[in-house]
Structure 1
Amino acid sequence: MIKKFSAEFVGTMVLVLFGCGAAVLGGFDIVGQLGIALAFGLAIVAMAYGIGPVSGCHVNPAVSLAAFVAGRMSLKDMGLYWVAQILGAIAGAAILGLIAKTGFAALGANGYDAGSPGGYGLHAALIFEVVATAIFVIVILGVTGEKGQGAFAGLAIGLTLAVIHIVGIQVTGVSVNPARSFGPALLQGGEALSQVWVFFAAPAVGAVIGALLFRFKVLEPEA
């Protein structure tokens, strides 16, 4: 379990550092929305193949919740993964804050209303995060199942996350991952921290919806 904890810690740290780092250090004026989206997606691809054999590369409490609901993970393991993911996200945000010229004032936190890059409100944030997380976990559970495309799983998952970011960055900055949201929000504080509940609640609902489709064999392939 130490190996799994370490893998999830490192994987989530890398996701936050590279993904949020592209937004903070690159930004819309340098790498653009597409560049930020690809940074998140490619970080997942890299970690999927780097730590996937150790922990499965969840690096996301919503993914671990989905695995639990779908019957692919124990409650104990889910709790361990959650702790590693949250701590990893905080570490990634802390490293980014030490590098960025703005320090901890802007770490790529998610938000709505004034915290939304495109000025979208709470209802849009909730709808997007629920739907996007459900789609994300459906892809993950599908490609990592017994009849999934194991060798291409990391690529499929990373590309899905990139597409989600291309569509949703203007809405919330894209979470679909409570750890990714909490790390930057905790260190950034203020409005980002007051809004972070949305990025726990909505991804959790989306994860359960997606997982139940596998739990009740709706999307499980025929034997």
Structure 2
Amino acid sequence: MASSNSITEPSPKFQLPTRRSIMAEAKAASPAPEWLSPRNAALCNFQKLVAELMGTYILVFVGCGAALTDKIQRLNMLGIAIVWGAVLMAAIYALRHVSGAHFNPAVSIALAVVRKFSWKEVPMYILAQVLGSTLASLTLRVLFHEQGNIQPIVNQYSDPTSDLEAIVWEFIITFILMFTICGVATDPRAVWSELH
């Protein structure tokens, strides 16, 4: 018979499992899936590149197409902005699970800098993105061939804008884009991260 003065060890506190602990246990318990063979990994990488190419193509085709349509039917700046936002949102929802939905070399490079993306994949992603945007631009050139004021050059900004001003604009806009993406997609406290 135990004495009444003996001290019993406290039982450990019960803690509800978190999403991360459940996922960690599931990964530890399951062996590597069969579909993760080298051949299937190469196919998966190819799918990522096709997703980046198609996403960039769709984004540039619809967004720049809206800007070109404005010259014909006066869509106005708000309409163009809504089109860009809607097509970007649709492309992200459609392709994020395949490739991460970067659609911009600046995004791929910035995510690699913050170690959320592999540097080995950056060159192929950039190649797919540049190819997708080039194909979209060529498609728009063919479709709007009667519109004579389309200039098939890289720096198609208005005349009163200098090269330096264009670079500053691009830097600021790309910074805002990356600030938003890093806040939404890479911060574990973000709502988007909790959903995926």
TM-score (norm 1): 0.60
Counterpart position of 1:130: 171
Taking a change above 3 Å as real, the CA distance of residues 110 and 87 of structure 1, as seen in their structure-2 partners, is: closer
What CA deviation, in whole Å up to 9, does each residue of 1:181-207 have, x standing for no partner? xxxxxxxxxxxxxxxxxxxxxxxxxxx
Cα distance in 1 for residues equivalent to 2:151 and 2:101: 23
Counterpart position of 1:14: 58
Taking a change above 3 Å as real, the CA distance of residues 82 and 36 of structure 1, as seen in their structure-2 partners, is: same
Do the aligned residues in 2 keep the contact of 1:15 with 1:43 (CA within 8 Å)? yes
Do the aligned residues in 2 keep the contact of 1:93 with 1:107 (CA within 8 Å)? no
Cα distance in 2 for residues equivalent to 1:50 and 1:77: 21
- Bigger radius of gyration: 2
Number of residue pairs the alignment of both structures matches: 150
Moved over 4 A (4+): 107-110
Do the aligned residues in 2 keep the contact of 1:24 with 1:108 (CA within 8 Å)? no
% identical equivalent positions: 30
1:42-57 alignment runs, 5 A limit: 42-57=86-101
Counterpart position of 2:121: 77
Counterpart position of 2:76: 32
Correspondence for 2:189 among 144, 147, 160: 147
Amino acid at match of 1:134: F
Cα distance in 2 for residues equivalent to 1:64 and 1:76: 11
Taking a change above 3 Å as real, the CA distance of residues 104 and 142 of structure 1, as seen in their structure-2 partners, is: farther
Deviates more, 1:139-148 or 1:94-103: 94-103
| Structure 2 counterpart SS, 1:117 | coil
Deviates more, 1:93-102 or 1:141-150: 93-102
Taking a change above 3 Å as real, the CA distance of residues 2 and 44 of structure 1, as seen in their structure-2 partners, is: same
What CA deviation, in whole Å up to 9, does each residue of 1:118-158 have, x standing for no partner? 722223222221122112101101100222221799xxxxx
| Structure 2 counterpart SS, 1:126 | helix
Cα distance in 2 for residues equivalent to 1:136 and 1:63: 8
Amino acid at match of 1:32: N
Correspondence for 2:108 among 64, 70, 80: 64
Taking a change above 3 Å as real, the CA distance of residues 139 and 118 of structure 1, as seen in their structure-2 partners, is: farther
Q: CA RMSD in A?
A: 2.6
Do the aligned residues in 2 keep the contact of 1:23 with 1:108 (CA within 8 Å)? no
| Structure 1 counterpart SS, 2:101 | coil
Structure 1 gap segments, 5+ residues each: 154-223
Do the aligned residues in 1 keep the contact of 2:184 with 2:193 (CA within 8 Å)? no
| Structure 2 counterpart SS, 1:93 | helix
Counterpart position of 1:121: 162
